[in-house]
């Protein structure tokens, strides 16, 4: 049992570090080649922090554990909103007024409903996975076109300042990109292998491990990026990163895993996990949209989000604790 635990521990550690290097390298290369900061923000930074979820879920699907892939995507969405935004808001209230975010928040809510629809039959078929990838591409094109019409959007200003601070040569950036991707793949393999071994030994389902340990681990890049942005007062990037990551997880991560291997999902996924994702996403839309004023997540709302995450984890592990008491 020691080796699987070590594989999970080191997999999580290197996953977070390699993700940062991968994103930094990609962002610098993109900016040096003249790509708009907003496109970098949406495609590389917003979606790039979800590369760990993408690789972990793809490997899980390839290795015949699709439940781990679904759990990873849904659990990461829950952790991103309830845990990460909750923690950051408790430390310092989050304020944002980006027009791009006001487009992304309703889209994220709609996309979550689409995921619910696809999983009503407790399965994601290969065709549904491919359709999710297609929807993701359409949304990506729409967001990029919308961003280009708002060059002075607050996210663009924050990103311009952020990228200007990165004094990295193209050669070093390319090394970070390639090295980060290699370590991402290796650490993801270690994480998946160790998680499956631990789940088997403890009699826990792959889904529960994916929703908890693996999801929390693959959300570490979003947590690190969020607090780094908070220190610099880049509130637009904090929310933009979470919204972009959840869009990517819901469509690209789940869609890729489903297109690799059709995935049967447990009934609890619909009534527990997807319900939680939708309620959190809708609550983020309500408290963060702004309605003719800047969006704001205050400390009290942050505490509510943290309480929701604690309640979800209890909901998740309570049956396991009950079964232990019975035996």
Region of poorest pLDDT, from 30-39, 88-97, 215-224, 259-268:
30-39
Distance CA 270, CA 275 (A): 6
Q: What is the pLDDT of residue 325?
A: 53
Q: Is residue 209 part of a domain?
A: yes
Domain count, the chain: 1
Residue 140 burial (CB count, 10 A): 19
pLDDT at 319 exceeding the cut of 70: no
In terms of DSSP H, where are the helices of the chain? 2-32, 37-39, 47-48, 51-62, 66-78, 86-91, 99-118, 126-148, 154-164, 170-202, 206-209, 215-218, 220-231, 235-247, 254-260, 267-268, 275-288, 299-326
pLDDT at 15 exceeding the cut of 90: no
Q: Is residue 203 part of a domain?
A: yes
**Sorting pLDDT into bands at 50, 70 and 90, what band is 206?**
confident
Q: Is residue 273 part of a domain?
A: yes
Instruction: Taking residues 256-273, report their average pLDDT.
Output: 86
pLDDT at 322 exceeding the cut of 60: no
pLDDT at 135 exceeding the cut of 90: yes
Distance CA 132, CA 258 (A): 9
Judge residue 295's burial from the number of C-beta atoms within 10 Å of its C-beta, 0-12 exposed, 13-18 middle, 19 or more buried: buried
In which domain, by residue range, is 233 found?
2-319
Q: What is the pLDDT of residue 129?
A: 92
Residue 179 burial (CB count, 10 A): 14
Backbone angles phi, psi at 296, to 5 degrees: -155, 135
Backbone angles phi, psi at 124, to 5 degrees: -115, 110
Q: Is residue 326 part of a domain?
A: no
Q: What is the pLDDT of residue 59?
A: 84
Q: Is residue 297 part of a domain?
A: yes
Q: Is residue 327 part of a domain?
A: no
CATH number at residue 33: 1.20.1420.30
């Amino acid at each position: 049992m020691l080796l699987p635990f070590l594989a999970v521990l080191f997999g999580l550690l290197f996953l977070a570090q390699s993700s940062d290097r991968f994103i930094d390298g990609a962002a610098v290369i993109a900016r040096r080649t003249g790509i708009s900061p907003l496109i970098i923000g949406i495609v590389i930074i917003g979606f790039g922090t979800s590369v760990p979820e993408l690789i972990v879920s793809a490997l899980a699907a390839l290795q015949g554990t699709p439940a781990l892939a679904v759990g990873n995507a849904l659990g990461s969405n829950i952790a991103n909103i309830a845990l990460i935004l909750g923690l950051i808001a408790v430390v310092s209230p989050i304020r944002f007024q980006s027009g791009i975010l006001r487009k992304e928040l309703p889209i994220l809510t709609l996309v979550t409903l689409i995921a619910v629809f696809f999983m009503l039959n407790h399965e994601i078929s290969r065709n549904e996975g491919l359709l999710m990838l297609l929807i993701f591409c359409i949304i990506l094109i729409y967001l990029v076109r919308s961003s280009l019409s708002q060059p002075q959007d607050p996210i663009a200003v924050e990103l311009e300042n952020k990228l200007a601070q990165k004094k990295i040569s193209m050669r070093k950036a390319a090394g970070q990109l390639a090295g980060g991707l290699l370590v991402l793949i290796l650490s993801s393999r270690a994480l998946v292998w160790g998680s499956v071994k631990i789940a088997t030994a403890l009699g826990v389902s792959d889904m529960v491990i994916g929703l908890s340990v693996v999801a929390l681990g693959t959300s570490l890049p979003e947590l690190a990026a969020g607090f780094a942005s908070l220190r610099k007062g880049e509130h637009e990037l904090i929310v933009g990163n979470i919204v972009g990551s959840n869009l990517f997880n819901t469509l690209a991560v789940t869609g890729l895993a489903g297109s690799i291997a059709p995935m049967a999902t447990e009934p609890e996924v619909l009534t527990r996990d997807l319900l939680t994702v939708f309620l959190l996403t809708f609550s983020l839309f309500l408290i963060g949209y702004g309605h003719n004023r800047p969006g704001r997540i205050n400390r009290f709302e942050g505490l509510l989000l943290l309480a929701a995450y604690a309640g979800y984890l209890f909901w998740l592990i309570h049956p396991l604790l009950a079964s232990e008491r019975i035996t």
